[in-house]
Structure 1
Amino acid sequence: MATTPVEHPTTTSTFPTRQKPIPYSCVDGQRTRLSSILPPLVFGAATFNHQYNNDPFALDTTGMVTSALTHGIRAFDTSPYYGPSEQLLGDALATPFVRETFPRNSYMILTKAGRIASEEFDYSKEWVRYSVKRSLERLHTDYLDLVYCHDVEFVSPAEVLEAVTELRRIRDEEGTIRYVGIAGYPVDVLGDMAEMILRETGEPLDAVQNYACFSLQNQTLAGPGGIQRLHNAGVDVVPNASIIGMGLLRRVGVPIGGLGDWHPAPADLRAAIRRASDFCDNYGELIEVIAIRFALETWISVGAICGSKGDPASGVPWKHESNDDVGGAKLGVSVIGVSKADELEKTMLVWRSIVDGLEGGEETAAQAGRWSRAWEWSRNRRKAVQILADGVREELGVWFDFAWASPGVGYVNKRQKDTKVLEDNDAPWLTPAASPEAVPLKGGPDIAEEKILPLR
């Protein structure tokens, strides 16, 4: 079984100092382009939620956020829809150590507005204003770097236009938002909305985030109707989220958190993923390892047309790297999600290895005191992962590029149009005392025990 080279410490120990600001400016209404400053690796805080964990309050969210920052991550993605995620992330970023070492202008916060519950959406300007105000409070910040309209496929184009227009008004008149985008699952709907917004307003979107459509199982975001269409609509950055399909691409199956089995993947797709997982097992690999490395490494180049020149995370504690250190080109932006410290550590080692394989990686590794052949190992690992990715595609057959319906059949927005915008309208979070019992995973004891992301 292939192994990852052991991480060697740098030759000099750097004492943590106050981190440098991200170079944002706004002069006469002209903002720094998002694609010049957004880091290519974003920490996704959707896992700070009952969908993925029985009790997100029991997670070491402060430790994970602090570790992410020390390893070079400079952007965090969350949403009010993710239960207590905004509050947990905000509290982690508000600790004395983080505030002193990582000033607010040294990292970016991305959040969303419009989605309230699984079947409840409100894109009205009144709710958008309220949602932004609440996010600022929860995240303990004076401004939000980017706000997406959350899951735009569930509402009408007119509603999306109203929400985007209000977010831009807040951006221009109040200054508590810097960039505006949309997010969702169906690639064609995202294209429709991006084109509509450009046509109706004359201004393109700063960002369009898609999830689960560039992975081992579904790669439609890379097609002409995906990122190329969004680029043609003037979209600046297209982040790729849910690189393992909201947990679908795991040997243990979809995540079962406090909300039970919520995943929309049909049974036949899950069975196909299980066969593909068995295929990977035959070659000494776990499907989630191949999925993470394939998506991160491939999207760096495939997503570059709507990528960013922001500084990449180095993956090494207290080691800063600039975009120039890895060739100076745009890199496709990806969002990662982890629930445990060891998952973050291993994901950062994978990312470090990927960065080693970029242009300039050989020299960068040497300067950092890393293994002299890290660049070569990274390039060879890329080839091996691509071979297994091709094999997974063969195993999936008709389920490759399959997309589940979003919204599902019979969906009706349960939000009452005359609902007053008051804080007590928010559904209460499950508190630690009210968190449900753990739900055992299906598939036998051999699968249920294997919950940790292995090192590759």
Structure 2
Amino acid sequence: MATTPPNAPDAPEALPTQPSVPYERNTRLSSILPPLIFGTATFNHQYNSDPFALDTVGLVSSALTHGIRAFDTSPYYGPAESLLGAALATPFVRTTFPRSSYFLLTKVGRIAAAEFDYSPEWVRASVTRSLQRLNTDYLDVVYCHDVEFVSAAEVLGAVKELRRIRDAEHSVRYVGISGYPLDVLGDLAELILRETGEPLDAVMSYANFTLQNETLAGPCGIGRLRAAGVDVVPNASPLGMGLLRREGVPVGALGDFHPASRELRGAVRAASGFCDRHGERLEVIALRHALESWLEAGAAVGSRGDPASGVPWVRESNEQVGGTKLGVSVIGVSRAPELEKTMLVWRSILDGLEGGRETAIKAGRWSRAYEWSWNRKRAVQILKEGVQEVLGDWVDYTWASPPPGFVNQKGVNAGADETVRAGKDKPKATVEEVDAPWLTPAASPEPTEGGDEVRDEKSIPLR
């Protein structure tokens, strides 16, 4: 894909500057965060042999023109922050999409596969580095990354430091945590509320609202987080870290990292065969189910931010799709066709929401798009139930995180944290590059094949 977005009007005056998101210090995140977030974990060598060879500038530009207004990243995702920052710094983006028109979400605390540092010194250094990499004066949301790998006291300390930065320096606007085990996320949300008197703005969960595992929607998930005052709960990794694919879990340069057992993988293969027999692909049903169902299931901890329209250069407001809160999801792509097809799926999902018929007609789309979307939703629901019958006892199963025997190797790799504590709250250049980091499960995107080409059969169909 070229580094200029598709269907861009030729005349400069045809590219009006996009409006800013209304924000004041007391604005709740749930009133402005978009319900679809572009995850940049794909801008990493775990899913792509050479992330620098990806057209990240074109992907980010195209995402913006299709209405996406939020990008999730992390220092742990290899070069992702730098690549995203460079894409957002192009003249086209700076002219057409001012910083105030989109959200940047990043993380602190995870340095490498087995190295974590939640100290206030490292939190400050990490925020400073993210600001520099992303070419911005502020970060909309900063999560403590994969909180189950450190102690509750460390998480509490990191949250307090992020809030200090928020209040004193204003370079952070909202503070949250991310991780996998729902009991840990619930414990920490309750602890932080109890100890500080202030709830978390966001808790990002991954692989907990999928075809295989829907526990995030239940009392141990958003029920408990909502009771702890958490404002927004984004759902990431709708394919369960790549488990819910016809081809099986992704195996990149670092080998097979997925924690699913041989038995669970076998059950998923059987479920994939079930989908094949009904003319569908497992990953298509998984993606559509997660995105579509979470809009409603996650609404209590969702947002009224404007959704991406899915149509180039067409802005859509929350009011146009019903005006209610919508559950927030994180997607990830590596190449232009994946993005374009994902946005077609997203557009079809929006057509099925309240007001979808009227919105379609006003936008000049097919007047029966609403009806088609609802029929597709029913078909996906039927196949979802069939998949879960095949999965049997593996439905709502969760794997251990961290794995048994995990030991935090902080300070072993390069003495990076000592470097920060010794001086100026700014890491050395050695901290800029982490040796072969594993892709974090949090915000894990739909995995893709390495190399420059992906066969159509492995892409998301146009539906």
TM > 0.5 fold call:
yes
1:156 is matched with which residue: 151, 155, 170?
151
Q: Which residue of 1 aligns with 2:165?
A: 170
Following superposition, the deviation at residue 429 of structure 1 comes to 5.3
1:257 is matched with which residue: 236, 240, 252?
252
CA distance in 2, matches of 1:285, 1:18: 41
Question: Do structure 1's residue 201 and structure 2's residue 196 form an aligned pair?
Answer: yes
Q: Which residue of 2 aligns with 1:267?
A: 262
CA distance in 1, matches of 2:395, 2:193: 32
Q: Which residue of 2 aligns with 1:86?
A: 81
Structure 1 residue identity aligned to 2:293: T
Following superposition, the deviation at residue 199 of structure 1 comes to 0.2
2:36–2:330 contact (8 Å) kept in structure 1: yes
Gaps of 5+ in 2: 1-6, 421-426, 437-447
Q: Which residue of 1 aligns with 2:92?
A: 97
Q: Which residue of 1 aligns with 2:443?
A: none
Question: Do structure 1's residue 41 and structure 2's residue 24 form an aligned pair?
Answer: no
Q: Residues 364 and 448 of structure 1: is their aligned pair in 2 closer, same or farther, counting only changes over 3 Å?
A: closer
Range that drifts further, 116-125 or 394-403: 394-403
CA distance in 1, matches of 2:121, 2:80: 23
1:72 is matched with which residue: 62, 67, 70?
67
Q: Which runs of 4+ in 1 moved over 6 A?
A: none
1:44–1:77 contact (8 Å) kept in structure 2: yes
Q: Deviations over 1:51-82 (max 9, x none)?
A: 21111111111111111100000000000011
Q: Deviations over 1:57-110 (max 9, x none)?
A: 111111111111000000000000111110111111111100100000000000
CA distance in 1, matches of 2:405, 2:103: 37
1:55–1:258 contact (8 Å) kept in structure 2: no
Query: Aligned to 1:147, what secondary structure does the other structure show?
Result: strand
CA distance in 2, matches of 1:182, 1:429: 22
Q: Which residue of 1 aligns with 2:327?
A: 332
Query: Aligned to 2:379, what secondary structure does the other structure show?
Result: helix
2:111–2:434 contact (8 Å) kept in structure 1: no
Q: Which residue of 1 aligns with 2:134?
A: 139
Structure 1 residue identity aligned to 2:80: S
Q: Deviations over 1:26-70 (max 9, x none)?
A: 2xxxx2100000000000111111121111111111111111100
Following superposition, the deviation at residue 430 of structure 1 comes to 7.2
Q: Which residue of 2 aligns with 1:453?
A: 460
1:319 is matched with which residue: 314, 327, 349?
314
CA distance in 1, matches of 2:58, 2:284: 23
Q: Deviations over 1:114-148 (max 9, x none)?
A: 00011100000000000000000111111000000
CA distance in 2, matches of 1:453, 1:423: 41
Aligned pairs for 1:424-435 (under 5 A) are 424-426=429-431, 428=433
Q: Deviations over 1:135-168 (max 9, x none)?
A: 0011111100000000000000000000000000
Query: Aligned to 1:188, what secondary structure does the other structure show?
Result: helix
Following superposition, the deviation at residue 452 of structure 1 comes to 2.4
Q: Residues 319 and 155 of structure 1: is their aligned pair in 2 closer, same or farther, counting only changes over 3 Å?
A: same
Q: Which residue of 1 aligns with 2:441?
A: none
Q: Which residue of 1 aligns with 2:213?
A: 218
CA distance in 2, matches of 1:415, 1:211: 24
Following superposition, the deviation at residue 451 of structure 1 comes to 3.1
2:271 is matched with which residue: 265, 268, 276?
276
2:202–2:231 contact (8 Å) kept in structure 1: yes
CA distance in 2, matches of 1:191, 1:116: 24
CA distance in 2, matches of 1:448, 1:318: 28
TM-score (norm 1): 0.91
Aligned pair count reads 428
CA distance in 1, matches of 2:157, 2:174: 16
Q: Deviations over 1:385-408 (max 9, x none)?
A: 000001111111111111111000
CA distance in 1, matches of 2:230, 2:166: 17
Gaps of 5+ in 1: 1-8, 432-439, 442-446
Aligned pairs for 1:176-195 (under 5 A) are 176-195=171-190
Q: Deviations over 1:427-456 (max 9, x none)?
A: 73579xxxxxxxx98xxxxx9994323222
TM-score (norm 2): 0.90
